[in-house]
Amino acid sequence: MNFQNTQNNLEYNHPIRPPSTVMKLDRLGSFHQTRLSFTRRLIDDLKYQKSKIEIHQWNIDNNGIGSAIIKIIFKNEILSLIIFCHSINDEERTDRVIAEKWDMTFSLFRGIPNKNELNQLSKNLKIQESGRHNSKQLTLSRANKSQRIFEKVLNDLSIGKQPSEKLINDVGYLIRTTAVYGNGKFGIGDFSNTKGNEFLEKPFQAEMLTVYLIRYFSIELINFLAKKRGGKKFLTLSKHLAKHLGVGNATGLGMAPFLVNHQELIHQWIYNREIALSRVFSIKRLDKKTQNKIVNYIHEAFKYSLQWKVDDQLQSKKINELNLDLKKILQNTNLTKLLNFNYPIKTLFDFYKDDITLETQEILNSVFIEPFPELFEDLINNMGAKEQKSVLIDFNVNDILNIIKDNYKWALEIDTTKPAENYCFWYTSQTKLEPRLGITKKDAGIDKQLPFDIAHQIKKTLNILNKLPYDMTASEVMVSQPELRNIIKRIIINKSLPYSEIQNNLIGKDMKPIDILRCKLSFFGASKFDPKSDLWTRITLFQGAPLPNELWKTNVNDWLFPNLPNV
C-alpha cells in the first residue's frame, strides 16, 4: 500500500483515546516500541544520511584492555565514539549508578579528537561524573560485560563453535550500560549546541547513536578476542546471532521523574502515538498484502512473547496472558474475516479489546502502527517540544477551577487523607543527585520531598481558590500564594496539553515506578523488559536492528519483535 493509496483510503475521523484512558500507570506500563520510538527513527535517519560506520582506531590488547575509536561519517559531519576498556574485578561490576568502576567507558564526540583531546578523554572518561569534560562531547556512558554470557560466547567462538541460540536470546546482549548521559550533563555539550544539525537536533538522537555504536563495538570486540584466544580455530559470531544481540541497560528511579518534570514532552510523545493509532483506525480498506503483513506481525509478536523470559512474577504472569491472548487471536478464523471489513483495524481491535489484557492491547497497537510508516513522517519528525519557562497569564481563578473540574477529576476522586495515599515520597539523593523513593512512616527526609504529590496539590489548590475572588488573575494568585506557583503552572499547561499528566497518585502505596520507567523506555525503543523490582528494570536496545553494513537495505527498519527461529 503506497503513500498515495493510503492517503486516499484514509478518513481522519476516528477520535483519539482520551487522557482518562491513556494516562493511567497500568496502561503506560504496558507500552511497547513503535515506529515513533527513537531507536527506530535513528535507523531511518542513518539510512537517509547514507552514513558510513568504520573502525578508525583499535588499540585493544589480547585481554580486551585499551582504547578504540569508531568513526561515523554523515553527509555534513563526522562523529566518533571514543571507547576505553578497563580492567576490573568481578565484584566491582554492578548495575548501580553509584558504581565507580566499569569495564568500558564511552563518549560520542564531534569530529575526531586530536592527541591532546584524546589524552584528556583518557584521563576523564574512566571517572565519568567526576571528570572534566568538554563541549565536543555529546554523550557520556559506561557499560559492563554481561557475566551471564560474555565469557561463554567468547569461549565458544574461540574453539570454533557458535554459541547457543537459547543463551543469546535469554540474555540478548554482550554488554549492559548503566547510564547514557546527554544534554550538557557533567560539562559535556549542551543540546542547544546541536542547533542547525538536522541529525543531532532531534530528541535523544545522540544518545541512541551512542548505544547503537556501543552495540557494534561489543560485536567487534567479541570477534577480536575470540581470534586472539582461538587462533586458527576461531569463528566470528554468525550474522543472525549478531543481529539478535542488542545493548543491555539497567534503568532505575533516576529516569522516573522525567515524565513528571517534562509535561510538554510527555504530551507530545503520547499525543503523537494516539494520533498514529487514530490514523490507522481510520483506514477504510486494506489490500491483501497489508492484511498479510498485519497477520505476520501478530505471529512475530506471539513468537517474541514466547521468548520473553523474566524472573519477576507479575511480569511473567502478564507475559503468559499475552501468549494466550495472541494464540487465541491467531487461531480464531475471524482474524482474516475481520481484516476484510470496512475500517478493518478498528474492527479487529474492537472485536477483541474487552477479552484481552492491557499488555496485549498495547502490543497490538504497536502491530497496527507498524505497516504504515508513510502515514507518520510528520509525527516522527515532531517528537520534540519547546518547553516554556513561563505560561500564559490570561487566566483567572474561575478559569483554573474549571480546568481542575474538567481535567483533574482523577485527582479529586483520591482520598488524600488515607495513609495508603501518603505511603511514600520522592527526594533527591545528595550523594548522586539522583531521585529516590522514601517510605513516609519509615524514612527521614519528607521535608525535602519533590513536588510529585500532584493529587494532593490539586486538592489544596482547589480549597484555596474557592476562597478567592473568581476574577482574581492567576498571576495575582501566584504572587500572593507562592506555594501554588508550580501546581498552577501545571494546571495551565494541562489545559492545552492534556496528555501531560499521569492520572495516578504518585505517592500512593499502589504506585509502581516501574510503569513510569517502561513508558519512557518504550519511546526509546526498548524490548524484553525485565523488572528486578518495582523500582528498576533491565531492558535491551537495538535487539534485532540492522548491523552497520545492512543500513542500505530496503526494509532496513523491519525489526519490531526480534525473535530467533530455533529457540
| pLDDT tens digit sequence for 9-33 | 655 578 999 999 999 999 999 999 9
Residue-wise pLDDT tens digits, 461-470? 999 999 999 9
CA-angle at 73, arms to 71 and 79, nearest 5° = 55
Cβ-based neighbours of 76, under 8 Å, separated by 6 or more: 197
Q: What average pLDDT does the structure give for the chain?
A: 92
Tell me: pLDDT of 151 over 50.
yes
pLDDT over 90 percentage in the chain:
81
The answer as to whether 505 is a domain residue is no
What average pLDDT does this structure show over 197-212?
91
Answer whether residue 404 shows pLDDT above 90: yes
- Asked whether residue 146 falls in the same domain as residue 275, the answer is no
Residue 525 lies in a domain: no
pLDDT value at position 187?
83
Mean of pLDDT values over 242-252: 94
What per-residue confidence (pLDDT) applies to 93? Answer: 75
Lowest mean pLDDT among 3-12, 106-115, 448-457, 538-547: 3-12
Supply the pLDDT for residue 168.
96
Contact (CB, 8 A) for 285 and 342: yes
Section 537-562 average pLDDT: 94
Domain match, 168 and 314 both: no
What type of residue sits at position 546? P
Separation of alpha carbons 101 and 248, rounded Å = 17
State how beta strands 140-145 and 104-110 pair. Answer: antiparallel
Q: Reduce the secondary structure of 433-483 to three states and give it as a string.
A: CCEEEEECCCCCCHHHCCCCCHHHHHHHHHHHHCCCCCCCEHHHHHHHCHH
Categorize the per-residue pLDDT at 396 as very low, low, confident or very high, splitting at 50, 70 and 90: very high
The one-letter amino acid code at 464 reads I
pLDDT band at 555 (very low <50, low <70, confident <90, very high): confident
Q: Do 17 and 72 lie in a common domain?
A: no
Same domain, 419 and 401: yes
Contacts of 57 (CB under 8 A, 6+ apart): 67, 68, 69
Domain assignment present for 121: yes
Give the pLDDT score at 462: 97
**Residue 175: what pLDDT?**
97
The predicted model gives 137-149 an average pLDDT of 94
Q: Tell me: pLDDT of 379 over 80.
A: yes
Q: Render 170-202 in DSSP notation, one character per residue.
A: HH-EEEEEEEEE-TTGGGS--GGGGTT-TTTTS
Give the end of a domain, one of 226, 252, 278.
252
Domain containing residue 93: 39-252
For the question of whether the overall pTM of this predicted structure is more than 0.85, the answer is yes
pLDDT of residue 394: 86
Cα separation of 396 and 468, whole Å? 10
Residue 27 lies in a domain: yes
74 and 180, same domain (yes or no):
yes
Residue 521 belongs to a domain: no
Q: Is the pLDDT of residue 4 over 50?
A: no
Average pLDDT of span 428-435:
76
Quote the distance between the C-alpha of residue 351 and its chain's center. 30
Q: Are residues 12 and 77 in the same domain?
A: no
- Would you state the pLDDT for residue 1? 45
Report d(CA 133, CA 136) in Å as an integer.
9
The total number of structural domains in the chain stands at 3
Highest mean pLDDT among 10-14, 38-42, 427-431, 433-437 belongs to 38-42
Q: SS3 string of 481-515?
A: CHHHHHHHHHHHHHHHCHHHCCCCCCCCCCCCHHH
Most confident listed range (178-187, 385-394, 421-430): 421-430
With contact defined as beta carbons under 8 Å apart, do 246 and 563 qualify? no
8 A C-beta contact, residue 457 and residue 445: no
pLDDT for the residue 95: 67
Of the candidates 354, 384, 414, which is a domain's last residue?
A: 384
The angle that helices 397-407 and 485-496 make with each other, rounded to 10 degrees, is: 60
Could you tell me if 436 and 426 are in contact, meaning their C-beta atoms sit under 8 angstroms apart? Answer: yes
- Domain presence at residue 44: yes
Q: How many CA atoms are closer than 13 Å to the CA of 126, on its beta-carbon side?
A: 15
Same domain, 17 and 150: no
Domain co-membership, 179 together with 240: yes
Alpha-carbon gap, residue 422 to 452, rounded angstroms: 11
The pLDDT score that the predictor gives to residue 128 is 86
Residues 330 and 433 reside in one and the same domain: no
| Residue 47 and residue 15 share a domain | no
Q: What is the per-residue pLDDT across 249-278, written as a single tens digit (0 to 9) for each?
A: 988 888 888 999 999 999 999 999 999 999
DSSP 108-165: EEES---HHHHHHHHHHGGGGGGS---TTB--EEEEEE-TTTHHHHHHHHHTT-PPPH
* Same-domain check for residues 292 and 312: yes
pLDDT in tens, 57-98: 999 999 999 999 999 999 889 999 999 999 988 777 776 666
Q: Which residue, of 444, 473, 500, is where some domain finishes?
A: 500
What pLDDT, on the 0 to 100 scale, is given for residue 8?
Answer: 53
Residue 363 contacts residue 302 (beta carbons within 8 Å): no
Task: Tell me whether residue 349 is exposed, middle or buried, using C-beta atoms within 10 angstroms of its C-beta: 0 to 12, 13 to 18, 19 or more.
Answer: buried
| Same-domain pairing of 431 and 377 | no
Q: Is residue 520 part of a domain?
A: no
Q: Write down the pLDDT at residue 3.
A: 41
- Cα gap 506→509, rounded to integer Å: 9
Q: What is the pLDDT of residue 532?
A: 92
Is 538 contained in some domain? no
